[in-house]
Structure 1
Amino acid sequence: MSRSLTATRRATLAGLGALVASGSVGTVAATAESEWTVEKTETNSTLHDVVSANAGRFAVGGGGVLAAPAAEGWRTLRDGGPTGNGNNLYGASVTDDGERVWFVGASGAIGEYVPATDTLVDRSAPMDNTNNYNDIAVTGSAGEANVYVAGDSGNIYYSFENGATGTWDYVTPGSGSALPAIDFHGPRSGHAIDTNGRVFVTDGGVTWNAIGIEDANVTFYGLDSDAPDDVAVSGGNGTVLTYDGANWAPDALGDADLVDVETDGEAGYVVGSGGVVQELAPDGRVTLDTPTGENLNAVDVDGDAVVVGSGGIVLRR
């Protein structure tokens, strides 16, 4: 995932199938013919995140669902989460070598899934903490990962020893406001956002410093951290803000809540409420017509773009 302060990467979506007008100079919006297909799934639970590993894509969601694509649609690999208690799963991440899929959710749920052996390891409730966890970032190789977990308590729980019992610690980067997203671009370098309009940066995985955003006046939901000077945040009121290492550049389109933002090279997507999807292309912003009005929660751009959301919806382009 990469970001820069071009018009391409400051884009968001105002509404499904609508032309979007922006105040950004040099930005063009247009409606494109829908190229999205709805894929079959075995679950009706809301899917909150989707990631790519060596073994393929994996999605997590309500009731502890872990799903993956098969020959005739997405099949449910697990439906109770790492503890078997059915806690909702909200965020997922993959080790740098693509061998392990990690995910987090309600009531302190943390799981490490090994696709090669269809094995699920329960890493839940570090330090006996059972707060709701919203997102996770893992760096390093399978079995030796650095694990970072962000949640409603405002704390970031971290382990530099693959989440093993007794290796966790935590830090509160801000005022204690909930942390909806965390993302890393290096082994111990990354960013986190809170619901109080703040963005935090770390270069060591332990100490975090605020880098804005002043007068944002929106709730933050999505985060893409690709370098110290290459960060994007998506939020309410159709807002995306990008950071070049010194300044934040805002761009607002419409009033949709933009829940996730992700790019791969010079292209990417922003997704959000009411089925909104916008492509971020080198020649401008393009509003995409999609065959759903469901709220969309996450997008993965490794190869074909895949978007997941409410009601178990999975879209592929």
Structure 2
Amino acid sequence: MTERNTTRRRFLKASAATVATAAVPATATAAESQWTVAETPTGNTLYDVEYAADGAYAVGAGGVALKRTAKGWTKIFDGGVTGNGNSLYGADVTDDGKRLWFVGSSGAVGAYDVETGTLYNHSKPVGSTNNFNDVSVMGQAGEANVYVAGDSGKIYYSFENGASQTWDYVTPGSGASLSAIDFHDAKSGHVVDTNQKVFQTTDGVSYTDIGITDANVNFYGVDSDATDDVRVSGGGGTVFHWDGANWTPTDLGDAGLKDIEVTTDDSEGLTVGGGGKVFDKTGLKWAQDATPTGQNLKAVVRGDVDVAFGAGGTVVEK
């Protein structure tokens, strides 16, 4: 099972801040390629990937879900939560790695028990049929807090494992579409929208705008490790880091960076995006990795084997 964001850090109350003036330089040269292409049983675009207790899982267009096994990637189901083909755009796993949650188009919300193979349908919370872009879950299988972000600008949440009649919602910003959401504690996390905003919560219900002023790029991914340790990936090859007081940008080129994952000790990380771009963080520096694909990459996860996914069922591994 890959590392989960379990580090707890001292809360530092912060207000919105402008981007720091000087961007952190990135290493421009590409590292020797260690990434290889893996075959998959689908040509559908894959939008998200997570490690569960028994290995990596991916979800994508048409409601396809894949699992990485000793024999390679296999399809565990197709057609989405209810079999009607709703695409799945976001995924997350419970803290024990036993249940994979996923969300997608037309209000799709579901969970898959990796031990029993049971598929649970939690779709249309509060009757919503909006497109859902991402999900974050905290807690054990069957007892998780579930947070769903979507096109309506609302976060749908349940503190009772997505059970019927336990859902509520909040609109943290202006109603702009929410691109990504990530929590580091039961009720503490961050969400980004398409209006260049990042919102923070410490109670799972109310949200505070913490920037990013003058970012001038779209936001696509967020990695929340603490209230004073957040990274956002976005357009123009930009990664932003929040330290509780300021946002510091790092310029990695011109590719839109769709996803980002950094260890809680900030020592290592990965971000991926357009044109098969992968950037690898070691210490304070980011370096571009050579990859064997030019396909747009949508998601990345770190583990015993690092995995990135994207258009046309593309999977690259390291």
TM-score by length of 2: 0.91
1:218 alignment counterpart: 217
Aligned-partner Cα distance in 1 for 2:166–2:229: 31
CA deviation vs aligned residue, 1:4-50 (integer Å, no higher than 9, x gap): xxxxxxxxxxxxxxxxxxx7456433221111111111011000000
User: 3-state SS of the aligned residue for 1:245?
Assistant: coil
Bigger relative CO (Cα 8 Å, ≥ 6 apart): 1
1:97 lines up with 2:96 in the alignment: yes
Alignment of 1:103-122 (within 5 A): 103-122=102-121
1:310 alignment counterpart: 311
1:285 alignment counterpart: 286
1:267 counterpart letter in structure 2: E
User: 3-state SS of the aligned residue for 2:126?
Assistant: helix
Contact residue 271 and residue 278 of structure 1 kept, 8 A: yes
1:6 alignment counterpart: none
TM-aligned CA deviation for residue 241 of structure 1: 0.7
TM-aligned CA deviation for residue 254 of structure 1: 2.0
User: 3-state SS of the aligned residue for 1:107?
Assistant: helix
User: 3-state SS of the aligned residue for 1:161?
Assistant: coil
Q: CA RMSD in A?
A: 1.5
Aligned-partner Cα distance in 1 for 2:26–2:62: 41
Contact residue 30 and residue 288 of structure 2 kept, 8 A: yes
User: 3-state SS of the aligned residue for 1:83?
Assistant: coil
Structure 1 runs not aligned, ≥5 long: 4-22
CA deviation vs aligned residue, 1:125-177 (integer Å, no higher than 9, x gap): 01110000000000011101000000000000000000001000000000000
Contact residue 29 and residue 284 of structure 1 kept, 8 A: no
Contact residue 273 and residue 295 of structure 1 kept, 8 A: yes
Aligned-partner Cα distance in 1 for 2:26–2:150: 35
Larger displacement relative to structure 2 (28-37 or 219-228): 28-37
Alignment of 1:1-317 (within 5 A): 24=23, 27-264=26-263, 265=265, 266-282=267-283, 284-317=285-318
Size of the alignment, in residue pairs? 298
User: 3-state SS of the aligned residue for 1:68?
Assistant: strand
1:12 alignment counterpart: none
Aligned-partner Cα distance in 1 for 2:245–2:284: 25
Aligned-partner Cα distance in 2 for 1:308–1:60: 10
Aligned-partner Cα distance in 2 for 1:209–1:65: 35
Aligned-partner Cα distance in 1 for 2:208–2:233: 20
Contact residue 25 and residue 250 of structure 2 kept, 8 A: no
Aligned-partner Cα distance in 1 for 2:26–2:87: 38
TM-aligned CA deviation for residue 255 of structure 1: 1.6
TM-aligned CA deviation for residue 83 of structure 1: 1.3
CA deviation vs aligned residue, 1:98-142 (integer Å, no higher than 9, x gap): 111000000000011001111100100011100000000000111
1:316 counterpart letter in structure 2: E
Aligned-partner Cα distance in 1 for 2:228–2:114: 34
TM-aligned CA deviation for residue 285 of structure 1: 2.2
Percent of matched pairs sharing the same residue = 57
User: 3-state SS of the aligned residue for 1:254?
Assistant: coil
For the structure 1 residues 135 and 294, does the alpha-carbon distance in structure 2 shift closer, same or farther, using more than 3 Å as the test? Answer: same
Contact residue 40 and residue 72 of structure 1 kept, 8 A: no
